[in-house]
Amino acid sequence: MHELGIMTGVLETVNASAHEAGAERVLSISLSIGVMTEAIEDALRFAFEALSEGSLSEGAALEITMVQPKSRCLECGATYGHDRFSLLCPECGSFATELVAGRGMWIDSIEVDIPDDAPPAGPSSAGPPPDGGKENETRKKPGA
Amino acid sequence: MTQIDLKRPILDKNEKIARGNRELFAHHRVFVLDIMASPGSGKTSTILATIDALRDEFNIAVIEGDIASSVDAERIKAQGIAAVQINTGGACHLESEMIRRAVDVLDLERLDLIIIENVGNLVCPTDFDLGEHAKAMILSVPEGDDKPLKYPGVFQVSEAVILNKVDTMPVFDFDDGAFRAAVKQLNPTAPIFPISATKGTGIDAWAQWLADRIRAI
């Protein structure tokens, strides 16, 4: 069920980025999901359909790459892939290992449709305002 | 068609707010523990027993996360301990924004320890940073010794594993050796504390571990 929380995060970022770029709609979204998060691909797709309705992302193709776990042995330095359960080092049998991949969740990229006369991409505040100082600080706060 | 490279963590917003929470807790020198477990594993009873063991030395408050109701917070308040109830309204885990709002009503300057009781669930709370200092989990004996095999994530992110209801071990045919081996496989450094929260067994060792962590900040 945390797929709903994950997809809420995806759509917030994607819809905001598409809007900033002046896009009319989002065509595709590429995600990388570590399998150690126990997020299920089908549940992510279901959550996406439910949550994207009426947004710029409605109808977009969802490309999900499930990232297999990988660890590094802190004793012998071996790097190796493994499943969700057995993390011990296959070379020396050590339990002192560090997960280097498989728990992250990333939005890699999106493809969007931008009409020709759209304003240039990028957030609105490119530089400090001409009068600088105080006004700049108060503007920053809501996003902090 | 235009491609936009984002390369952004999906839980970006949650993590940002969690960082803010962490700074706030550091500023007030209050230790925050996030407890994760299944429904019915004895989270609230374990928290009550922990409070009993530590309340002479530390000022404690509890944040209760549940889908609905305030029965858990009432149990805590009945012991004279500040408690804030968060109702997630269906969400299966707590997020950092909920914690940020909950701590607004607590007197952080006075507190040494905040215990967060996450929503009863062994999967979803695992991936959401709340800004806590440590996550710990409770498994209860009736749930079975095979749970580390079924829910590896929660065992991996927990700094300590509490095994509750150990007094029922003979009834449920719980294989303690198999359980310990499976936990070690997933999280070799996590201590395992066998307790019976309602009978008070084993609480001292767990409370000692927690007290050492609180004093260290």
Tens of pLDDT, residues A24-44:
999 999 999 999 988 999 999
A67, A101 Cβ separation under 8 angstroms: yes
Residue B28 located in a structural domain: no
- Across residues B33-43, what is the average pLDDT? 96
User: What is the CATH number for B68?
Assistant: 3.40.50.300
Give the pLDDT band of residue A88 (cuts 50, 70, 90).
confident
Q: Is residue A121 pLDDT above 80, yes or no?
A: no
**A2-67+103-119 maps to CATH 3.30.2320.50:** yes
| Strand A105-113 to A25-34 pairing | antiparallel
| Mean pLDDT for all residues in chain A | 84
Cα distances from A90 to residues A94, A97, B117, B156, in angstroms, run 8, 11, 37, 18
* Mean pLDDT of all residues in A36-65: 95
Residue A122, pLDDT above cutoff 80? no
Q: With beta carbons less than 8 A apart as the criterion, state whether A141 and A58 touch.
A: no
Q: Which amino acid would we find at residue B62?
A: V
Give domain status of residue B161, yes or no: yes
Token pair 């669930």 is at which residue? B121
Mean pLDDT value across residues A133-141: 39
Give the pLDDT score at A133: 40
Amino acid at B96: S
- Residue B26 lies inside a defined structural domain of this protein: no
Nearest CB among B4, B126, B127 relative to A109 is that of B4
A112 with B13: Cβ contact below 8 A: no
Tens of pLDDT, residue by residue over B97-133, are 999 999 999 999 999 999 999 999 999 899 899 999 9
* pLDDT tens-place string over residues A69-87: 999 999 999 999 998 888 8
pLDDT of res. A141: 37
CA distance A138 to A67: 41
pLDDT tens, residue by residue, B39-53 = 999 999 999 999 999
Q: What is the pLDDT of residue A140?
A: 38
**Structure confidence at residue A1 as a pLDDT band (50, 70, 90):** low
Query: In whole numbers, what is the pLDDT of chain B averaged over residues?
Result: 94
User: How many domains does chain B contain in total?
Assistant: 1
Can you state the percent helix, strand and coil of chain A, rounding each to 5? Answer: 30, 25, 45
Q: Per the domain annotation, does B10 fall within a domain?
A: no
Query: Are A5 and B91 an interchain contact pair (Cβ–Cβ within 8 Å)?
Result: yes
Mean pLDDT score, B82-106? 92
Mean pLDDT, rounded, for B199-209: 97
B185 chain-A contacts, CB cut-off 8 A: 85-88, 95
Does residue B8 form part of some domain?
no
Please count the other Cβ atoms lying within 10 Å of the Cβ belonging to residue A142: 6
Q: Which of A42, A2, A8, A36 is nearest to B119 (CA)?
A: A2
CB within 8 Å of B63: residues ≥ 6 apart:
B83, B84, B86, B99, B102, B103, B114, B115, B116, B117
Please report the pLDDT score of residue A125 as a whole number. 45
In angstroms, the CA B50 to CA A133 distance is 50
Check B92 against A13: CB less than 8 A apart.
no
User: Hey, what amino acid is at B93?
Assistant: H
Question: Does B6 map to a domain?
Answer: no
Range of the domain at B184: 34-215
Helix spans in chain B (H):
12-27, 43-54, 71-77, 96-103, 147-150, 152-157, 169-172, 176-186, 203-215
Chain B residue with CA closest to A16: the answer is B6
pLDDT at B170: 92
Per the CB < 8 Å rule, is B5 touching A2?
A: no
Distance between CA atoms of B65 and A141, rounded to whole angstroms? Answer: 29
Asked if residue B21 is part of any domain, the answer here is no
State the pLDDT at residue A117: 61
Q: Name the residue of chain B whose CA is nearest to A113's CA.
A: B1
CB contact (8 A) between residue A5 and residue B152: no
Residue B87 belongs to a domain: yes
Residue A97 DSSP SS3 = strand
Task: Say how far apart CA B150 and CA B135 lie, in whole Å.
Answer: 19
